[in-house]
Amino acid sequence: MTAGEGGTPGQRGGAVEGPEADGRRDTWEPGREQARPAGAPRLRYQRVVVKLSGEALAGERETGIDPQVVSRVCGELAAATRLGVQVAVVVGGGNIWRGNEGAARGMDRATADYMGMLATVINALALMDALEKYGVVVRVQTAIEMKEVAEPYIRRKAISHLEKGRVVIFAAGTGNPFFSTDTTAALRAAEIEADVMLKATKEAGVFDADPRTHPEARKLDEIAYLDVLKRNLKVMDATATSLCMDNQIPIIVFDINVYGNIQKAIMGDTIGTFVGGESRG
């Protein structure tokens, strides 16, 4: 997998701020800084991929879509765009259908996964509707063509939308069974040369054990990609973690239910768990 014509994210040049002395890539480049409103705070990341789990959109319902939760999340995304951040979103479909659960019950795995991809499209349309109510211009792109409701995924077109200040929502996964939406988020982040992947979950971050079954579990403020893989921590699947590691895309895992966390992550504040190759200092 390539990271596009400009090279891997870690190779992009021309940053306005100093070199990567603190272990984080600088993300402001002359061609991008024009999008930042006058007087806006300097951001750590300007082009981001936000990975939203389907379960997060269900709120306390556990299944389905909670309009209040969707509106709150989209309000935060809209606020980020007003700061000049280029926002792409990958949404899961677990609040509607999970392919692996269907397969576990005897369904053909490929068929079950295609059903899950369609579930992500439903969530993407719900996010689009809520974002538009905040005055944000949105484009939904799907890996499975359904031109009546969304654009097909085209990398160059997605980047063009982002550069024009539009939010792009990537739906229908990679278009292939056996791949998670976490892997989709990592793949799209590499393709559009995102500066960071923000994984918004129901957990406060990454723990050294499952906090639901181990009350003594400790939240990790920071961890390297390889340690995630070696310790088999449930940040995301190994394919997604490896893709981010190979393309030097940091991952920030945080609780989406805490208002303001999305903006804090974009600003570089210490929240949740930072997953990367080096210390943030």
CA dist 96 → 57, 194, 199, 240 (Å): 10, 28, 19, 22
pLDDT for 39 equals 57
Q: What is the DSSP letter of 69?
A: H
3-state SS, residue 139: strand
The mean-pLDDT minimum among 31-45, 122-136, 198-212 falls in 31-45
pLDDT per position as a tens digit, 86-125: 999 999 998 998 777 777 788 899 999 999 999 999 999 9
Q: Which CATH architecture has domain 45-204+257-267?
A: 3-Layer(aba) Sandwich (3.40)
Q: What is the DSSP string of 17-57?
A: S--STTSS-----HHHHTTSPTTPPPPS-SEEEEEE-HHHH
The residue with greater pLDDT, 4 or 69, is 69
Local confidence band at 14 (pLDDT 50, 70, 90 cut-offs):
very low
Q: pLDDT > 70: what percent of the chain?
A: 84
Mean pLDDT computed over every residue of the chain: 83
Per-domain residue ranges for the chain?
Answer: 45-204+257-267
pLDDT for 40 equals 57
pLDDT for 246 equals 95
pLDDT per position as a tens digit, 228-257: 999 888 788 899 999 999 999 999 999 988
The mean-pLDDT minimum among 30-44, 174-188, 212-226 falls in 30-44
- Note the pTM of the prediction, 2 decimals: 0.82
pLDDT at 218 over 60: yes
Q: Which spans in the chain are helix H?
A: 30-33, 54-58, 67-82, 99-104, 109-133, 155-163, 181-191, 225-231, 238-246, 261-267
**Cα–Cα distance measured from residue 98 to residue 120, given in angstroms and rounded to the nearest whole number:** 10
Residue range 128-132: mean pLDDT, rounded = 97
Q: At what angle do helices 181-191 and 155-163 cross, to 10 degrees?
A: 70
Q: At what angle do helices 67-82 and 109-133 cross, to 10 degrees?
A: 60
Question: φ and ψ at 111, to 5 degrees?
Answer: -65, -45
Q: Which residue has the tokens 């921590």?
A: 233
